[in-house]
C-alpha cells in the first residue's frame, strides 16, 4: 500500500505587515511521512509549530516552500500548491481534521452537526444520523443534548461533539489537534479506543496530544518538531 | 366649403391633426402598442375625454355621422357636450343610433348593437398603461412591453383570486392584442371585452392627459388574460332590463328614490329605446312614447341622468381601485 | 460536481470616468460554490457584483456563463431580453434592502409566484401551492401568504426575498450584504437558513459582504478587494486564518472579539 501522506522540506513563516513587515519564521525543512494504519504524534514544546504543521497539511495555512503529497482520488496531489477547489475535494474525500474548538452554525442540533460531514459526502441523512447517535452515545454525551444546538454546551461537551464529527467519516488521513484537551479520563479512554479503531481500519493519523497518557496509548511514533525549528535552517 | 374654412375643420389645426393621424396609423400598424403623441389642450378638462376628442377630431370628415356615448348613454352631460362640440366645430351630422354612426366616441362602453366594417369606435382612456398600478416607472413598463415581460399582469389577477376567491377585476380588464401587446381596454366593463375580439370595426384609443394613442385594427385577436383554473368570464345579470326586458346586455343600477328603491336597466340607452320602440317587441305596447331615434330629449320612461348610479367622470377615479 | 465552471470572469474592469470601480478581476466559479467578496465600502465589491449580474456594463473584460443547455454565452454580448430572462430564471439577486427586491404592495404569495407567472405558469392553484411550499422553506407561516411585505419584519422580508428568488430553481444567486441591517439574532437565523438552502439546492453564489463572519459561515472561497482590485483570494478559512496581504491582515485584526 502506498504511503498516504508524504511531507518534504516544508517551510512556513508569517510576515506581519501590521508590524512593519517583520517576518516570524515558524518551521523549515519539515519532512516526514505517515503510513496507513499508523498514528504519529507531533512532539515538542508549545510554540514549536505543531499546530501550524497540521494546519498546512489541511490547507488551512499557506505553505511557503516544500510539498505535501497525499494519495487522493487514485493519484497523488500536492496540498501545498493545490487550488482551492482541489483542497476542498481533498478535505471532502481524503483528509479529516478534528480541531480543538467547535465552530458551528447557531441553530443546527448537535446530532446534525455530527452527521453533516457524512451527508456532505452524499450519505443518506437518516443513515448518517444513526451513525452520529452511535458515536455520541459512545462518547457519553447525554441523549437529551442531541437535539440542541451545541453553542451553549460546556467545553467538554462541545469537544465530544467535535470528536464525533471528526471521526464519523472514513477519511484515509485524519489530523487530530488536541482532541482530548478538555475531556475527563473516561472520555479520553473512549477517544483512545476510537483512534485504535481508525488504526485498525488502515487510517493514517497525525496528532497533537498534550496529555502524556493519551500520547503513550496512541502514538506509534513521535515526530520531534524542534528538529524543524526555522532558525536551524537559516532564517 | 373653401380651403380656408376647412383649415381648422373640427377644431384642431391641420398640423396637429397630421401629427395625431401619424400616431393613429402607427398604432394601427402595431396593434395594442401605446404611441406617444403631443396631446393638445382642449376646451374641456382632463378626464372629460380630451384624448378621445382629439382622435375624433383628427379622423372626422364632413360626411361622417357621429355618435357619442357616456357609460352607454347618449343623454348624459359628457356625451351631450361632446356631440354639441363637433356639431359646432365640424358641422357634422350626429345620431344616437349605433347602426347609423360612422364614428362612435365612447366613454367606458361598447354598444350592444354589433358594429360593422367601416365604423370607428373611439375610446376615451384615463390611464393607458395596464402595468401602471404594479410598476410605477414608465421606463420600466416600456421595457416590459418591449421585451414582452407580462408576468406582472398575472400578479394582479393572482392578487384578485387570493383576496376574493375569483378574478375580481370587472372593468379595465387587461387583454392581449394579436398575441403580442398587453393592453388596457379603457375602463369598459369586462362584459364588453369579447366584443373587441375580431371586431369588424376599427377601435382607436386616446388618452389626452397621458398623451398616448393606441389601436386595435379590424379583425384583430383580443384575448382577456386569465388562469387555466380561473378562466375569464363576463358579468351575468340574474334579471333582464327592467325597461326593455333585454337579456345578455350590460345593466346599470338606477336608484329610484331615497327609500332603497332601485332597478336595473340597459346601460346602452339607444339599444333600450330601440327595443321599446320596436312594434314587434312584446314590450312596445304603450311604452314606446318618446323613444324616437334622433330625439335627444330624455324619454319619460328613462330615468333622469342625474339619478344614474355612476357619476360621469368616475373613469378618472381609477386610482381608487 | 461537474468539471466545468458555471461562470468565467476575465480581466473585468469598470471605470467611472477616470475613477476605478473595479479593475482586472478574474476568477472562475463552479456549480455549488459560494464565493465571498469582502472589503470595505468603496472597495469596488458592489460595482463588481453589479457588473457580474449585468445590472451594470463593465468598461472592459469578459464574463461567460454556462447556460442550462451547456452552451457558453458571453454575458455582455447577450441581448437585454436574454439577460433579463436569465435574471428571472437561472439567476437570483438578493438585495441588502428587501424593499429593492420585493414588490411591497402585492402579497407575499404573489411576490413568490411572480417569477413563475413570468415564465408562463398560468395555473393559479399550482402557483399558490408552490408559494406555500417556498414560504415554509424560508420559515414564513402559511397564513401570512396574503399579507403584504409591508407588514413583515426586516428578517421576514429578507427571507421572503430569498424565496422569491429561489422559486425558479436558479443555479447562481448574487447577494449584496444579505444580512446587513438586521439584528444579530435575526442575522444568525438568516445565515443558517441561507447556508442550508445553498447546500440543499447546490446553489452557486457570489456574496458581497463586509462582515468576515458572514463570509466564513457561508463561503468556501473568498476574494478580498481594496481600491477596486483583488488583493488576496483563496479558501475562506485560509484567507482568514493565514492572511498574507497587508490589507487582509488589517481587516482580520480589526474584527471585534466578543
The per-residue pLDDT for range B146-157, each reduced to its tens digit, is 999 999 999 999
Q: Which residue, chain included where needed, has cell 385594427?
A: B217
Partner-chain contact C195 A87, CB within 8 Å:
no
Partner-chain contact C106 B161, CB within 8 Å:
no
CA distances from A120 to A87, A98, B64, B186 (A): 15, 16, 79, 57
Residue B288 has pLDDT above 60, yes or no: no
Eight-state DSSP code of residue B40: P
Partner-chain contact C242 A60, CB within 8 Å:
yes
In chain B, residues with a C-beta closer than 8 Å to the C-beta of C148 are: none
CA distances from B159 to B189, B250, C99, C137 (A): 19, 26, 19, 22
* Least confident segment among A29-33, A228-232, B89-93: A228-232
What was the pLDDT predicted at C257? Answer: 62
For residues B284 and B278, the answer to whether their CB atoms sit within 8 Å is yes
Chains in touch with C (≥3 Cβ pairs < 8 A): A, B
- Chain C residue whose CA is closest to B165: C124
* Smallest Cα distance from C116 to chain A, Å: 30
Q: Which three cell numbers stand for residue A162?
A: 467535535
In chain C, residues with a C-beta closer than 8 Å to the C-beta of A105 are: 191-192, 195, 217
- Which residue of A16, A23, A24, A62 is the best one to mutate when testing the C interface, meaning the one whose CB has the most C CBs within 10 A? A62
- Among the partner residues B149, B226, B229, nearest to C125 by beta-carbon distance: B229
Partner-chain contact A18 C33, CB within 8 Å:
no
Q: Which residues of B are the active-site residues?
A: 32, 241, 244, 266, 272
What would the pLDDT profile of B228-256 be if each residue is shown by its tens digit? 999 999 999 999 999 999 999 999 999 99
What would the pLDDT profile of B83-106 be if each residue is shown by its tens digit? 999 999 999 999 999 999 999 999
Residue in B220, B215, B218 with CA at minimum distance from that of residue B24: B215
Residue in B124, B87, B95 with CA at minimum distance from that of residue B108: B124
- C-alpha C141/C-alpha C135 separation (Å) is 7
Q: Is C68 on the interface with B (CB under 8 A)?
A: no
For C66, the 3-state DSSP assignment is: strand
For residues A176 and A205, the answer to whether their CB atoms sit within 8 Å is yes
For residues C226 and C239, the answer to whether their CB atoms sit within 8 Å is no
Return residues 71-90 of A near C (CB < 8 Å).
84-85, 87-89
Q: Is A93 on the interface with C (CB under 8 A)?
A: no
Q: Is C55 on the interface with B (CB under 8 A)?
A: no
Q: Which residue, chain included where needed, has cell 371586431?
A: B199
Percent of residues, chain B, with pLDDT higher than 70: 85
Eight-state DSSP code of residue B317: G
Residue B162 has pLDDT above 80, yes or no: yes
What was the pLDDT predicted at B309? Answer: 44
Instruction: Report, as an integer, the average pLDDT of A127-148.
Output: 94
Residue A106 has pLDDT above 50, yes or no: yes
Paired with A12 in beta bridges are A27
Residues recorded for chain B:
321
In chain A, residues with a C-beta closer than 8 Å to the C-beta of C30 are: 85
Mean pLDDT (chain C, rounded): 92
Q: Is C211 on the interface with B (CB under 8 A)?
A: no
Residue B320 has pLDDT above 80, yes or no: no
- C-alpha C225/C-alpha C37 separation (Å) is 7
Partner-chain contact A59 C238, CB within 8 Å:
yes
For A149, the 3-state DSSP assignment is: coil
Exposure of B44 by Cβ count < 10 A (0-12 exposed, 13-18 middle, 19+ buried)?
middle
Q: Which three cell numbers stand for residue C131?
A: 408559494
Give the list of residues 6+ apart from residue C234 with CB closer than 8 angstroms, or none.
A62, A84, C221, C222
What was the pLDDT predicted at B64? Answer: 96
In chain B, residues with a C-beta closer than 8 Å to the C-beta of C88 are: 151
- C-alpha A97/C-alpha A162 separation (Å) is 10
In chain B, residues with a C-beta closer than 8 Å to the C-beta of C116 are: 151
- Compute chain B's Rg from CA coordinates: 20
Partner-chain contact A60 C191, CB within 8 Å:
no
Partner-chain contact C145 B162, CB within 8 Å:
yes
User: Alpha helix locations (H) across chain B?
Assistant: 3-7, 14-29, 50-59, 77-89, 138-146, 151-164, 193-196, 269-277
For residues B34 and B44, the answer to whether their CB atoms sit within 8 Å is no
Q: Is B155 on the interface with C (CB under 8 A)?
A: yes
- C-alpha B285/C-alpha A138 separation (Å) is 101
Q: Which residue, chain included where needed, has cell 403623441?
A: B37
User: Alpha helix locations (H) across A58-154?
Assistant: 84-93, 110-120, 125-138
- C-alpha C130/C-alpha C150 separation (Å) is 22
Write phi, then psi, for A118 (nearest 5 degrees). Answer: -70, -40
What was the pLDDT predicted at A231? Answer: 63
Q: Of B6-15, B60-69, B255-264, which one has max mean pLDDT?
A: B60-69
What was the pLDDT predicted at B3? Answer: 53
Q: Do chains B and A touch (3 or more CB pairs under 8 A)?
A: no
Instruction: Report, as an integer, the average pLDDT of C189-196.
Output: 84
For residues B162 and C110, the answer to whether their CB atoms sit within 8 Å is yes
What was the pLDDT predicted at B316? Answer: 41
Partner-chain contact C103 B159, CB within 8 Å:
no
User: Alpha helix locations (H) across B123-252?
Assistant: 138-146, 151-164, 193-196
Confidence of residue B292 (pLDDT cuts 50, 70, 90): very low
Residue A170 has pLDDT above 60, yes or no: yes
- Among the partner residues C33, C235, C241, nearest to A87 by beta-carbon distance: C235
Partner-chain contact C127 B159, CB within 8 Å:
no
- Chain C residue whose CA is closest to B145: C81
Percent of residues, chain B, with pLDDT higher than 90: 78
What was the pLDDT predicted at B302? Answer: 45
* Smallest Cα distance from C110 to chain B, Å: 6
Partner-chain contact C113 B228, CB within 8 Å:
no
For residues A204 and A173, the answer to whether their CB atoms sit within 8 Å is yes
Region of B52 (left: φ > 0; alpha: ψ -120 to 50; beta: rest) is alpha
Q: Which residue, chain included where needed, has cell 329605446?
A: B273
What would the pLDDT profile of B113-125 be if each residue is shown by its tens digit? 999 999 999 999 9
Chains in touch with B (≥3 Cβ pairs < 8 A): C
Partner-chain contact C118 B151, CB within 8 Å:
yes
* Smallest Cα distance from A155 to chain C, Å: 17
Q: Is B260 on the interface with C (CB under 8 A)?
A: no
C-alpha dihedral over C180, C183, C184, C188, to 10 degrees? -70
Confidence of residue C41 (pLDDT cuts 50, 70, 90): confident
Q: Is B319 on the interface with C (CB under 8 A)?
A: no
- Which residue of C54, C78, C86, C117 is the best one to mutate when testing the B interface, meaning the one whose CB has the most B CBs within 10 A? C117
Instruction: Report, as an integer, the average pLDDT of C244-251.
Output: 93
C-alpha dihedral over B117, B123, B127, B130, to 10 degrees? -20
* Least confident segment among A45-49, A51-55, B31-35, C4-8: A45-49
- Chain A residue whose CA is closest to C246: A17
Mean pLDDT (chain B, rounded): 87
- C-alpha C97/C-alpha A63 separation (Å) is 41
What was the pLDDT predicted at A233? Answer: 44
Q: Is B168 on the interface with C (CB under 8 A)?
A: no
- Compute chain C's Rg from CA coordinates: 18
Partner-chain contact C250 A17, CB within 8 Å:
yes
- Which residue of C204, C235, C241, C247 is the best one to mutate when testing the A interface, meaning the one whose CB has the most A CBs within 10 A? C235
Chains in touch with A (≥3 Cβ pairs < 8 A): C
What was the pLDDT predicted at B192? Answer: 96
Partner-chain contact B155 C113, CB within 8 Å:
yes
**Vertex A44, ends A38 and A47: CA angle to 5°?**
125
Q: Which residue, chain included where needed, has cell 516552500?
A: A65
In chain B, residues with a C-beta closer than 8 Å to the C-beta of C119 are: 151
In chain A, residues with a C-beta closer than 8 Å to the C-beta of C2 are: none
DSSP letters of B69-130?
EETTBSSSHHHHHHHHHHHHHT--EE-S-GGG-SEEEEES---SSPP-TT-EEEEE-S---T
Partner-chain contact C84 B149, CB within 8 Å:
yes
Return residues 88-147 of B near C (CB < 8 Å).
134, 143, 147
Q: Of A220-224, B27-31, C250-254, which one has max mean pLDDT?
A: B27-31
- Which residue of A58, A85, A112, A122 is the best one to mutate when testing the C interface, meaning the one whose CB has the most C CBs within 10 A? A85
- C-alpha A183/C-alpha A155 separation (Å) is 9
Paired with C235 in beta bridges are C221
Residue A116 has pLDDT above 60, yes or no: yes
Residue in C83, C104, C218 with CA at minimum distance from that of residue C161: C104
For residues B216 and B177, the answer to whether their CB atoms sit within 8 Å is yes
Partner-chain contact A107 C33, CB within 8 Å:
no
Give the list of residues 6+ apart from residue B19 with CB closer than 8 angstroms, or none.
B37, B38
For residues C104 and C148, the answer to whether their CB atoms sit within 8 Å is yes
Q: Which residue, chain included where needed, has cell 488536541?
A: A178
Residue B304 has pLDDT above 80, yes or no: no
- C-alpha A210/C-alpha A180 separation (Å) is 9
Exposure of A150 by Cβ count < 10 A (0-12 exposed, 13-18 middle, 19+ buried)?
buried
Eight-state DSSP code of residue B304: P
Pick the residue with more confidence: C1 or A181?
A: A181
What was the pLDDT predicted at C258? Answer: 54
- Which residue of C54, C55, C124 is the best one to mutate when testing the B interface, meaning the one whose CB has the most B CBs within 10 A? C124
Amino acid at each position: 500500500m502506498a504511503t498516504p501522506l508524504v511531507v518534504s522540506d516544508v517551510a512556513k513563516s508569517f510576515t506581519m505587515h501590521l508590524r512593519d513587515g517583520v517576518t516570524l519564521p515558524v518551521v523549515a525543512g519539515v519532512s516526514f511521512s505517515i503510513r496507513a494504519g499508523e498514528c504519529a504524534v507531533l512532539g515538542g514544546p508549545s510554540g514549536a509549530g505543531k499546530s501550524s504543521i497540521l494546519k498546512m497539511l489541511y490547507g488551512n495555512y499557506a505553505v511557503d516552500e516544500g510539498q505535501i503529497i497525499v494519495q487522493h482520488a487514485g493519484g497523488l496531489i500536492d496540498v501545498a500548491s493545490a487550488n482551492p477547489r482541489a483542497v476542498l475535494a481533498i478535505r471532502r474525500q481524503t483528509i479529516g481534521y478534528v480541531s480543538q474548538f467547535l465552530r458551528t452554525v447557531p441553530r443546527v442540533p448537535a446530532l446534525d452537526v455530527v452527521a453533516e460531514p457524512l451527508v456532505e459526502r452524499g450519505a443518506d441523512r437518516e443513515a448518517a444520523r444513526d451513525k452520529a447517535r452511535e458515536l455520541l452515545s459512545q462518547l457519553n454525551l447525554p441523549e437529551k443534548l442531541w437535539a440542541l444546538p451545541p453553542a451553549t454546551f460546556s467545553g467538554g461537551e462541545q469537544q465530544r461533539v467535535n470528536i464525533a464529527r471528526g471521526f464519523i467519516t472514513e477519511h484515509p488521513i485524519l489530523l487530530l489537534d488536541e482532541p482530548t484537551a478538555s475531556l475527563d479520563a473516561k472520555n479520553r479512554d473512549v477517544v483512545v479506543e476510537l483512534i485504535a479503531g481508525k488504526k485498525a481500519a488502515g487510517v493514517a493519523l497525525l496528532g497533537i496530544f498534550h496529555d502524556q497518557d493519551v500520547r503513550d496509548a496512541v502514538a506509534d511514533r513521535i515526530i520531534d518538531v524542534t528538529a524543524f525549528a526555522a532558525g536551524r535552517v537559516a532564517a | 366649403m373653401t380651403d380656408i374654412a376647412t383649415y381648422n375643420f373640427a377644431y384642431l389645426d391641420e398640423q396637429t391633426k397630421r401629427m395625431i393621424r401619424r400616431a393613429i396609423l402607427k398604432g394601427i400598424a402595431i396593434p395594442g402598442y401605446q404611441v406617444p403623441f403631443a396631446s393638445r389642450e382642449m376646451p374641456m378638462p382632463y378626464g372629460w375625454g380630451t384624448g378621445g376628442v382629439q382622435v375624433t377630431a383628427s379622423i372626422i370628415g364632413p360626411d361622417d355621422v357621429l355618435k357619442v356615448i357616456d357609460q352607454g348613454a347618449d343623454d348624459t352631460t359628457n356625451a351631450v357636450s361632446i356631440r354639441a362640440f363637433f356639431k359646432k366645430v365640424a358641422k357634422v351630422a350626429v345620431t344616437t343610433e349605433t347602426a347609423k354612426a360612422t364614428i362612435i366616441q365612447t366613454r367606458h362602453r361598447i354598444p350592444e348593437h354589433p358594429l360593422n366594417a367601416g365604423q370607428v369606435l373611439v375610446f376615451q382612456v384615463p390611464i393607458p398603461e395596464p402595468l401602471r398600478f404594479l410598476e410605477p416607472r414608465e421606463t420600466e413598463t416600456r421595457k416590459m412591453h418591449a421585451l414582452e415581460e407580462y408576468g406582472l399582469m398575472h400578479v394582479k389577477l393572482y392578487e384578485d383570486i387570493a383576496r376574493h376567491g375569483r378574478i375580481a377585476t370587472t372593468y379595465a380588464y387587461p387583454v392581449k392584442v394579436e398575441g403580442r401587446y398587453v393592453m388596457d381596454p379603457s375602463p369598459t366593463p369586462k362584459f364588453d371585452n369579447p366584443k373587441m375580439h375580431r371586431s369588424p370595426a376599427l377601435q382607436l384609443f386616446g388618452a389626452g392627459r397621458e398623451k398616448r394613442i393606441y389601436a386595435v385594427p379590424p379583425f384583430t385577436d383580443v384575448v382577456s388574460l386569465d388562469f387555466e383554473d380561473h378562466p375569464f368570464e363576463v358579468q351575468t345579470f340574474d334579471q333582464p332590463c327592467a325597461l326593455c326586458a333585454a337579456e345578455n346586455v350590460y345593466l346599470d343600477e338606477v336608484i329610484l328614490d331615497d327609500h332603497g328603491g332601485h332597478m336595473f336597466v340597459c346601460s346602452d340607452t339607444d339599444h333600450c329605446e330601440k327595443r321599446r320602440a320596436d312594434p314587434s317587441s312584446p314590450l312596445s305596447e304603450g311604452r314606446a312614447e318618446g323613444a324616437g331615434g334622433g330625439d335627444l330629449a330624455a324619454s319619460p320612461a328613462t330615468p333622469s341622468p342625474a339619478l344614474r348610479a355612476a357619476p360621469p367622470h368616475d373613469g378618472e377615479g381609477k386610482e381608487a381601485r | 460536481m461537474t468539471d466545468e465552471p458555471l461562470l468565467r470572469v476575465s480581466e473585468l474592469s469598470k471605470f467611472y470616468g477616470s475613477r476605478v470601480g473595479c479593475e482586472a478581476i478574474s476568477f472562475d466559479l463552479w456549480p455549488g460554490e459560494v464565493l465571498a467578496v469582502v472589503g470595505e465600502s468603496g472597495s469596488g465589491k458592489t460595482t463588481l457584483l453589479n457588473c457580474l449580474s449585468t445590472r451594470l456594463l463593465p468598461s472592459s473584460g469578459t464574463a461567460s456563463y454556462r447556460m442550462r443547455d451547456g452552451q457558453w454565452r458571453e454575458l455582455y454580448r447577450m441581448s437585454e431580453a436574454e439577460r433579463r430572462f436569465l435574471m428571472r430564471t437561472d439567476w437570483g439577486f438578493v438585495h441588502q434592502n428587501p424593499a429593492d427586491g420585493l414588490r411591497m404592495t402585492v402579497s407575499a404569495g404573489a411576490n413568490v409566484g411572480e417569477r413563475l407567472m413570468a415564465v408562463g405558469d398560468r395555473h393559479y392553484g399550482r402557483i399558490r401551492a408552490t408559494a406555500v411550499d417556498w414560504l415554509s422553506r424560508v420559515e414564513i407561516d402559511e397564513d401570512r401568504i396574503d399579507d403584504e411585505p409591508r407588514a413583515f419584519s426586516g428578517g421576514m422580508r429578507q427571507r421572503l426575498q430569498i424565496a422569491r428568488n429561489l422559486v425558479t430553481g436558479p443555479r447562481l444567486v448574487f447577494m449584496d450584504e444579505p444580512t446587513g441591517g438586521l439584528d444579530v439574532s435575526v442575522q444568525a437565523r438568516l445565515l443558517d437558513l441561507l447556508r442550508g438552502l445553498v447546500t440543499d439546492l447546490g446553489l452557486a453564489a457570489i456574496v458581497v459582504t463586509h462582515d468576515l463572519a458572514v463570509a466564513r459561515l457561508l463561503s468556501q472561497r473568498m476574494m478580498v478587494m481594496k481600491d477596486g482590485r483583488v488583493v488576496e483570494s483563496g479558501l475562506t478559512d485560509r484567507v482568514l486564518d493565514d492572511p498574507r496581504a497587508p490589507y487582509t491582515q488589517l481587516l482580520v485584526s480589526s474584527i471585534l472579539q466578543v
